[in-house]
Amino acid sequence: MMKKLSALWIFAFLLHTLPLAAQDIGRETRVDSVLASVNGDPITLLDVLIESGREEMRLASMFTGARLYSEIAKLRKEVIDEIIVRKLVYDSYKEKPFPIDEQYIENLMDSLAVSMGGGSRGGLLKKAKELGTTMAELREKVKEKLAVDILLSEYCDRPIYITPKEVYEYYTAHQKQWTKPARYELQLLHIANTGGRSGLDPETTCRKLSEQLAGADAAHFARIVRDNSDAANSESGGSVGFVDQDKLRPEFAAALRNIEPGRIVGPVKTPEGYYFIRLASIVPGEHIPFEKASEDIRQQLDRKAKNEMRAKYADNLKSRALIRYYF
C-alpha cells in the first residue's frame, strides 16, 4: 500500500517555481501571504503554489482572460480546502502517531530531486531555497502526506463492490463520455508580459527564442524552457501532459491547427504573455466500446464512492475546527 500511496503523492506534490498566476493572474504577489488558517495554523500562498503550479500551467493551455483567472482562483480554493483537511487529519496522526519508515520518506525525496532538482539533492536544495523553504520542511511535508494518506485509506477507502449492472447503466447513460476527442500532448514555454526573466522587453526575447527553437527536438526544447520560461513547470521542461482538443484555449487551437507532432509554433500572443508550443504527440479521437470501457467505469464509480466517504469524513472534521479564509 505504501508503494501505491507514494506514487499518488509524487504526482500530487511535484514542486515548481512560482507560476505565471503569481506574476500576472493572482492579486497575491508574496509567497508568504496567508490565504487561510485552520485552528490558527496558517496556509500561505507558497503552500498552495507548491501543489497547484503544474495544474495552473495546464489551465493556461485551455483558457484565457477572465476565464483563466477564475479557473485558477477555483483551483487554488480547492487546493486550500485539501490542505485544510490534510492538516486536520494530520492532527489526528499527531495524537496517536505511528512510525513511518524513513526509507519511504527518502525515496520520495529522491523522486522530488528528479522532478525539480535536476536529479540531485543539491539541485533540490537550491530549488527549495528559491521557494523559500528548506529540506527539513520538505521532508516534513512528505511525512505528513504519507501519514494522511494512510489514515484516509484506513478510515474511508473500505472495499466497495460495484455491480456489473451499475457499470453498464453508467455506460449507456453517458454515451458522450465514451466518444473521446483527440488529445494533444503539449510542452509550453511562457514569456511573461512584464516582470519575468525578459523584464520589459518580451518581444526581443521571443525573436531570439524563435531562432533557437527552429527544429528543436523535445530535449532541446526542454533545455530552453528551463533557461527561459516564466512558467511554473519550467524545471520539468514545460510539459503539461495531454489536453483534449476541444478544451484548448482559442489561441492555442488556432496555432495548432494542421500541425504535425514534433513541430513548434509561436510566439502565440495571449493576455498574460507569449507562448511557444511544442506539440509532442497526438492521440486520435475514438469511440470506446463497452468491453473496453467497463473496467475504467468500475474504477471511476469506486473512486466516486470513496471520495464521497472522504468528503463526509472531511466535513465532520471541519465542523469541529475553526477555519478562516482571507481572500
* 143 and 15 inside one domain: yes
Confidence bin at 31 (pLDDT 50/70/90): low
Confidence bin at 232 (pLDDT 50/70/90): low
Q: What is the mean pLDDT of the chain?
A: 81
Kindly state the average pLDDT of the residues 190-219.
Answer: 81
Residue 242: exposed, middle, or buried by beta-carbon count in 10 A (0-12, 13-18, 19+)? middle
CA of residue 17 relative to chain centroid, distance: 12
For helices 135-156 and 102-116, the axis angle rounded to 10 degrees is: 120
Confidence bin at 142 (pLDDT 50/70/90): confident
* 152 and 189 inside one domain: no
* 147 and 186 inside one domain: no
* 148 and 10 inside one domain: yes
* 205 and 149 inside one domain: no
In a domain, 244, yes or no: yes
Cell of 48: 498552495
Confidence bin at 165 (pLDDT 50/70/90): very high
In a domain, 221, yes or no: yes
In the prediction, which pLDDT does 76 show? 92
* 149 and 256 inside one domain: no
Query: CATH number of the domain that 38 lies in?
Result: 1.10.4030.10
Helices (H), 64-201: 65-95, 102-116, 121-130, 135-156, 164-173
Question: How far apart, in Å, are the Cα atoms of 58 and each of 12, 190, 195, 247, 303?
Answer: 14, 12, 21, 11, 23
b/e per residue 107-145 (b: at least 16 CB within 10 A): bbbebbbebbbeeeeebbeebbeebebeeeebbebbbbb
In a domain, 170, yes or no: no
Kindly state the average pLDDT of the residues 227-238.
Answer: 77
In a domain, 296, yes or no: no
In a domain, 293, yes or no: no
In the prediction, which pLDDT does 298 show? 94
Contact of 193 with 206, CB cutoff 8 Å: no
Question: How far apart, in Å, are the Cα atoms of 141 and each of 37, 43, 47, 323?
Answer: 17, 13, 10, 21
Kindly state the average pLDDT of the residues 193-205.
Answer: 77
In the prediction, which pLDDT does 29 show? 47
**Residue 26 domain boundaries:** 2-160+301-325
Percent of residues, the chain, with pLDDT higher than 70: 88
In the prediction, which pLDDT does 167 show? 94
Contact of 324 with 34, CB cutoff 8 Å: no
* 55 and 13 inside one domain: yes
Query: CATH number of the domain that 267 lies in?
Result: 3.10.50.40
In a domain, 292, yes or no: no
For helices 102-116 and 2-12, the axis angle rounded to 10 degrees is: 30
pLDDT digits (tens, 9 = 90+) for 264-298: 887 888 888 889 888 989 988 888 899 989 999 99
In a domain, 314, yes or no: yes
In the prediction, which pLDDT does 233 show? 64
Give the highest mean pLDDT range of 52-66, 124-138, 272-286. Answer: 272-286
Place of cell 487554488: 76
Confidence bin at 164 (pLDDT 50/70/90): very high
* 151 and 12 inside one domain: yes
* 139 and 47 inside one domain: yes
Cell of 165: 449492472
In the prediction, which pLDDT does 241 show? 85
In the prediction, which pLDDT does 49 show? 79
Contact of 231 with 237, CB cutoff 8 Å: no
* 317 and 275 inside one domain: no
* 131 and 199 inside one domain: no
In the prediction, which pLDDT does 13 show? 35
In a domain, 295, yes or no: no
pLDDT over threshold 70, residue 138: yes
* 245 and 312 inside one domain: no
- 25 vs 296, which has greater pLDDT? 296
- Number of structural domains (the chain) is 2
